[in-house]
Structure 1
Amino acid sequence: MFEQVLDAVRAHDRIIIHRHFRPDGDAIGSQTGLKYLIKANFPDKEVYSVGDDPARYGFIEGCTMDAVSDDMYAGALAVILDCGGASLISDTRYSLAKTTVRLDHHLFTGRIADTEVIRPEYESCCGIVTALAMEAGFTLDKTTAKALFTGMVTDSGRFRYDTTSTDTFMRAAYLMQAGFSTDEIYLPLYEDELSRVQLRAYFIGKIKLTEHNVAYIYTDRAEMQRLAVDDFTVSRGMANVMSDIKGVSIWVNFTETEAGVLCELRSSLHNINPVAVKYGGGGHAKASGATVADRETAMRMLNDLDKMSNGTEI
Structure 2
Amino acid sequence: MQHTHEILEKIKTYQTIILHRHMNPDPDAIGSQVGLKEIIRTNFPDKKVLATGFNEPTLAWMASMDSVSDEEYENALVIVCDTANTPRIDDKRYANGGFLIKIDHHPNDDAYGDFLWVDTSSSSTSELITLFALENNLEISPEAARLLYAGIVGDTGRFLYPSTTTRTFEMAARLRKLDFDFAGLSRQMDSMSFKIAKLQSYVYDNLEIDVNGASRVVLTQDLLKEYQINDAETATIVAAPGRIEDVTLWAIFVEQADGHYRVRMRSKNLVINEIAKRHGGGGHPLASGANSYSLEENDQIYREMQEVAKNK
**TM-score where L is the length of structure 1:** 0.95
Name the structure 2 match of 1:56.
58
Q: Is the 8 A contact 1:238 1:253 kept in 2?
A: no
Q: Structure 1: any 5+ residue segments left out of the alignment?
A: none
Question: In terms of mean alpha carbon deviation, does 136-145 or 225-234 score higher?
Answer: 225-234
Q: Report the equivalent of 1:218.
A: 218
- The residue that corresponds to 1:71 in the other structure is 71
1:201-216 → structure 2 map (5 Å cutoff): 201-216=201-216
Q: Any idea what the Cα deviations from partners look like across 1:103-128, whole Å, max 9, x if unmatched?
A: 10111111121111001110011000
- Secondary structure of the structure 1 residue equivalent to 2:244: coil
State the partner residue of 1:302: 302
Deviation readout 1:17-57 (Å, 9 max, x if unpaired):
00011110001111111001000111110000100113222
Q: Which residue of 2 aligns with 1:7?
A: 9
Structure 2 partner of 1:154: 154
Of 185-194 and 265-274, more deviation after overlay is shown by: 185-194
Identity %: 28
Counterpart Cα distance in 2 of 1:218 and 1:177: 42
Q: Which amino acid aligns with 2:12?
A: R
Q: After the TM superposition, which of the residue ranges 223-232 and 108-117 deviates more from structure 2?
A: 223-232
Task: Give matches, 1:51-130, under 5 Å.
Answer: 51-60=53-62, 63-130=63-130
Q: What is the CA deviation profile of residues 75-116 of structure 1, one whole-angstrom value per residue up to 9, with x for unaligned ones? A: 101110010111111101011111111110111111121111
**Residue 196 in 1 paired to residue 196 in 2?**
yes
Secondary structure at the aligned position of 1:103 is classed as strand
Deviation of 1:240 (Å): 1.6
Give the whole-Å Cα distance in 2 for the aligned partners of 1:211 and 1:295.
22
- The C-alpha deviation readout for 1:192-231, integer Å capped at 9, x for no partner, is 2222222211222111113432111012333333333212
Give the partner amino acid of 1:309. Answer: A
What is the aligned partner in structure 1 of residue 237 from structure 2?
Answer: 238
Preserved contact between residue 81 and residue 103 of structure 2 (Cα < 8 Å): yes
User: Residue 211 and residue 247 in structure 1: after superposition, are their counterparts in 2 closer, same or farther (change >3 A)?
Assistant: closer
Counterpart in 2 of 1:28?
30
Q: Distance in 2 between the 1:248 and 1:203 partners? A: 13
Inter-partner Cα distance in structure 1 for 2:298 and 2:237: 17
Asked if the contact 1:38–1:47 (Cα under 8 Å) also holds between the matched residues in 2, the reply is yes
* Deviation for aligned residue 1:181: 4.3
In 1: Cα distance, 2:132 partner to 2:61 partner: 24
SS in 1 for 2:239: helix
One-letter amino acid of the counterpart of residue 37, structure 1: I
Contact 1:28 1:54 in 2 (8 A): no
Question: Judging changes above 3 Å, is the alpha-carbon distance between structure 1 residues 191 and 224 closer, same or farther for their aligned structure 2 residues?
Answer: closer
User: What SS is found at the alignment partner of 1:237?
Assistant: helix
SS in 1 for 2:243: coil
Pairing of 1:281-292 with structure 2 (within 5 A): 281-292=281-292
* CA spacing shift, 1:265–1:59, aligned 2, 3 Å: same
Which stretch of the first structure deviates more once superposed, 215-224 or 65-74? Answer: 215-224
Q: Distance in 1 between matches of 2:203 and 2:311?
A: 28
TM-score (norm 2): 0.95
Root-mean-square deviation (Å): 1.3
Give aligned pairs, total: 309
Question: In structure 2, what residue type is equivalent to 1:93?
Answer: R
| Deviation, structure 1 residue 292 | 1.8
